[in-house]
Structure 1
Amino acid sequence: MMIEEDMDLSMKVIVVGNGQVGKTSMITRFARGVYTQEYKKTLAVDFLEKRMWIESAGEELTFLLWDTAGQEEYDAITRGYYKGAGAAIIAFSTVDRASFEAVESWHKKIVDECGQIIMLLVQTKVDLIDQAVFTAQEAESLSRKLRIPLYRTCVSANLNIEDAFLALGEKFLAKGAHRNHQSVQRMFQSVDCSLGYV
């Protein structure tokens, strides 16, 4: 019988948000360490994987990163990939008011499919703060309302990208979520995703 210490610890992370907010760029920067300004529309779902040492837990964690399309026409498809998620990032753009206003809708979709899993709000494109279409206070108020930590990021400058994912990993391992889920066996098994929120 395989014992837990022999397994690769993994966490399925779904990254959601409206189209063109920078989800793919953020995931690519984290997983591959590269940045491109070229926009390529995600068709339904893309997948990347990244291993990271979580110092606070003394363990290596594999992030299974699911990049979901933000367009409404893919909604029925992408929601099928929420199952088994251990964590989620809701992304919105500094220069896209609609993406900010859609955050609560994305939050509801995650809760409906997965329960209260670990989540982060990620504000993208903070290098364009002089063109911001909502205030810092509005973003902070939304974070408090949803009880979800807020990270302000810039992919081009690699600002707070790794910190955001590290925060997810630390909380996931600190909650012992990997010990309660078959997801420690890594790939794409379907599991209950009700982890709770702290």
Structure 2
Amino acid sequence: MTQNYNVLMKYIIVGDSAVGKSCLLLQFTESRFVPVHDLTIGIEFGTKVIDVDGQKVKLQIWDTAGQESFRSITRSYYRGAAVCVLVYDITRRQSFEHIQGWLKEAREHGGDKMEILLVGNKCDRETARNVSYEEGQRLAQANSICFIETSAKTNQNVEQAFQITSSHVLQKIQDGLIDTTDESCGVKVQQLDQKSANPKVGQDKNKKEPSGGCC
């Protein structure tokens, strides 16, 4: 049976409880927002095929629980992930302060080629903001990772967050930095169209460049 995608990538979404990880996944995969979402118990899963630089890329996205009691489960999902999305809530400074811990964990348990994106979620709640855009950008730059702000409610930059990271992974494949024969890399190539595979970083026209040192 012919596959309907060229490349398969595994994603993991991490961060404190109630920062909107499940809402981001739901908005991205099903284009809908649920105002009241039950806390994730263990792991949730979603998939979506997107077009990235002429390639059909299937994303397998694992949404993890933020509670400490599930951290041992979460750690096992870093292994074999091509991309880690670190999420905090711009209205909750504590969730931002915990990002360094999440980042440390991701780098300890993920592969050295794993793409990491810092996401400041709930940017639609500007009046309740407790973490500035510049703070998020500085943290990302200091750790050489990418950064973007999103709103799972309004769908602002949600698609772009996944486009940016998958484009970067494609570029690493093209540059020979990812060995796709290694199952631990989180990438499986069905058939890569070399002529159209020319990944470019997406730009947010309504925001500053979502750059964190690597974008």
Pairwise TM-score range, normalised by the shorter structure: 0.7 to 0.9
Residue pair 2:5, 2:57 contacting (<8 A) in 1 also: no
| Structure 2 partner of 1:173 | 170
Distance 1:6 1:90 in 2: 29
Shift of 1:114: 1.2
| Structure 1 partner of 2:107 | 111
Distance 2:132 2:56 in 1: 37
Query: What SS does the aligned partner of 1:109 have?
Result: helix
| Structure 2 partner of 1:11 | 9
- The structure 1 residue matched to 2:128, chosen from 124, 127, 131, is 131
CA-to-aligned-CA distance 1:117-168 (integer Å, 9 cap, x gap): 1011110001112211122322121111111111111111110000010001
1:22 and 2:23 correspond: no
- The structure 1 residue matched to 2:158, chosen from 140, 156, 161, is 161
| Structure 2 partner of 1:140 | 137
- The structure 2 residue matched to 1:91, chosen from 87, 104, 110, is 87
Query: What SS does the aligned partner of 1:38 have?
Result: coil
| Structure 2 partner of 1:47 | 45
* Equivalenced residues, count: 182
Residue pair 1:92, 1:122 contacting (<8 A) in 2 also: yes
Residue pair 1:7, 1:184 contacting (<8 A) in 2 also: no
| Structure 1 partner of 2:199 | none
Moved more, 72-81 or 132-141: 132-141
Shift of 1:8: 4.7
| Structure 1 partner of 2:188 | 184
Distance 1:181 1:87 in 2: 15
Query: What SS does the aligned partner of 2:124 have?
Result: helix
Residue pair 2:117, 2:147 contacting (<8 A) in 1 also: yes
User: Structure 1 pair 7/29, CA: closer, same or farther in 2 (3 Å)?
Assistant: closer
User: Structure 1 pair 62/178, CA: closer, same or farther in 2 (3 Å)?
Assistant: farther
Moved more, 20-29 or 8-17: 8-17
Residue pair 2:80, 2:111 contacting (<8 A) in 1 also: no
| Structure 1 partner of 2:204 | none
User: Structure 1 pair 63/6, CA: closer, same or farther in 2 (3 Å)?
Assistant: closer
**Which consecutive residues of structure 2, in runs of 5 or more, have no partner in the other structure?**
191-212
Residue pair 2:15, 2:86 contacting (<8 A) in 1 also: yes
Residue pair 1:178, 1:184 contacting (<8 A) in 2 also: no
Shift of 1:24: 0.3
One-letter amino acid of the structure 2 residue matched with residue 169 of structure 1: S
Higher helix proportion (structure 1 or 2): 1
Distance 2:180 2:88 in 1: 31
* Sequence identity percentage: 27
Distance 1:33 1:173 in 2: 24
One-letter amino acid of the structure 1 residue matched with residue 14 of structure 2: V
- 1:28-39 correspondence to structure 2 within 5 Å: 28-39=26-37
The alignment's TM-score, normalised by the length of structure 1, stands at: 0.85
One-letter amino acid of the structure 2 residue matched with residue 31 of structure 1: T
The alignment's TM-score, normalised by the length of structure 2, stands at: 0.79
- The structure 1 residue matched to 2:78, chosen from 71, 74, 82, is 82
RMSD, matched Cα: 2.1
